[in-house]
């Protein structure tokens, strides 16, 4: 799907709500925006979102709210991605709708989203659709009470690019500060100061987030056990992985497997 055509298609829609469902979604991988806010639900696979200089992971059975006018792009490494995207004209004053939100979709929200498939790509105004999606939108801030911090701030400092590349290539290994300092030609103190300033987190916290994000990718494939995934992403024990996963996700990996 050409990103420009996709954007133009959405912008032409006069309805206050619009449902877009694709069996094997190919989303826009170039920065674009919509005047409508949008709710993205991943039924199968996983999706990366880049919004306002931050990269977010959207795992299976999770939703993302993207505010109207926000420049964003998406991409996925899943072989198969099944998404539903709901677009809304926003009149609510709740600050929830003014920023990116990522959270696990409770069962009732999932059922509501899946129910809207019958209106997918419907261009004509439909009062039942409008009323149903209006109710869903009004409840969204309550569904999203436990937001996930699955985001990585993309640094502007060019000197950190080598550090980032090293962490992404070696996230399963213990952090070697001397090696990072040699590669980046920066002192340890400078690396730690710049990294915290640009990303808002320490190197260790960044590595933890990378490992959890990679584990979510593996979990979504349903091809590995939790034990296998723990060692694949660099943990020395299943308990250490489970504790780290819970600290970030607020639920255990076994809960993800049951979804």
Note the pLDDT of residue 3: 42
Note the pLDDT of residue 106: 87
Note the pLDDT of residue 4: 44
Note the pLDDT of residue 1: 40
Note the pLDDT of residue 199: 85
The Cα 112–Cα 114 span in angstroms is 6
Note the pLDDT of residue 229: 96
Contact by Cβ (8 Å): 103, 151: no
Note the pLDDT of residue 25: 62
pTM of the model: 0.76
Contact by Cβ (8 Å): 140, 103: no
Q: Which domains does the chain have, with CATH numbers?
A: 3-143 (2.60.120.280), 155-258 (1.10.10.60)
The Cα 66–Cα 85 span in angstroms is 11
Q: Name the residue with tokens 């995934």.
A: 229
pLDDT tens per residue across all 259 residues of the chain: 444 445 557 777 889 999 998 776 665 667 888 889 999 998 877 788 888 778 887 888 889 999 999 988 887 655 567 788 999 999 888 999 999 998 888 889 999 999 999 999 998 999 999 999 999 999 999 988 777 777 877 778 888 888 888 888 899 999 988 888 888 888 989 999 999 988 888 999 989 988 998 898 888 778 899 999 999 999 999 999 999 999 988 889 988 766 5
Q: What is the DSSP string of 200-228?
A: SS-HHHHHHHHHHHHHHHHHHHT-S-HHH
């Amino acid at each position: 799907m050409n990103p420009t055509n996709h954007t133009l298609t959405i912008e032409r829609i006069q309805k206050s709500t619009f449902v877009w469902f694709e069996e094997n979604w190919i989303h826009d991988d170039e920065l674009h925006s919509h005047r409508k806010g949008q709710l993205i639900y991943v039924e199968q696979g996983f999706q990366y979102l880049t919004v306002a200089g931050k990269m977010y992971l959207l795992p299976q059975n999770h939703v993302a709210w993207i505010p109207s006018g926000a420049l964003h792009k998406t991409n996925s490494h899943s072989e198969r991605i099944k998404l539903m995207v709901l677009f809304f004209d926003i009149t609510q004053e709740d600050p929830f709708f003014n920023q990116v939100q990522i959270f696990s979709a409770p069962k009732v929200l999932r059922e509501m989203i899946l129910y809207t498939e019958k209106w997918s790509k419907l261009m004509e105004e439909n009062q039942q659709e409008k009323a149903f999606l209006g109710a869903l939108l009004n409840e969204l801030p309550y569904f999203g009470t436990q937001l996930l911090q699955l985001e990585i701030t993309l640094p502007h400092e060019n000197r950190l690019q080598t550090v980032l590349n090293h962490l992404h290539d070696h996230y399963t290994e213990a952090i070697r500060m001397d090696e990072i300092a040699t590669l980046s030609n920066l002192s340890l103190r400078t690396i730690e100061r710049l990294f915290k300033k640009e990303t808002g987190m320490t190197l260790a916290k960044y590595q933890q987030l990378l490992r959890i994000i990679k584990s979510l990718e593996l979990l979504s494939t349903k091809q590995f056990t939790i034990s296998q995934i723990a060692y694949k992403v660099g943990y020395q024990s299943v308990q250490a992985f489970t504790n780290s996963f819970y600290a970030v996700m607020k639920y255990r990996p076994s809960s993800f497997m049951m979804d």
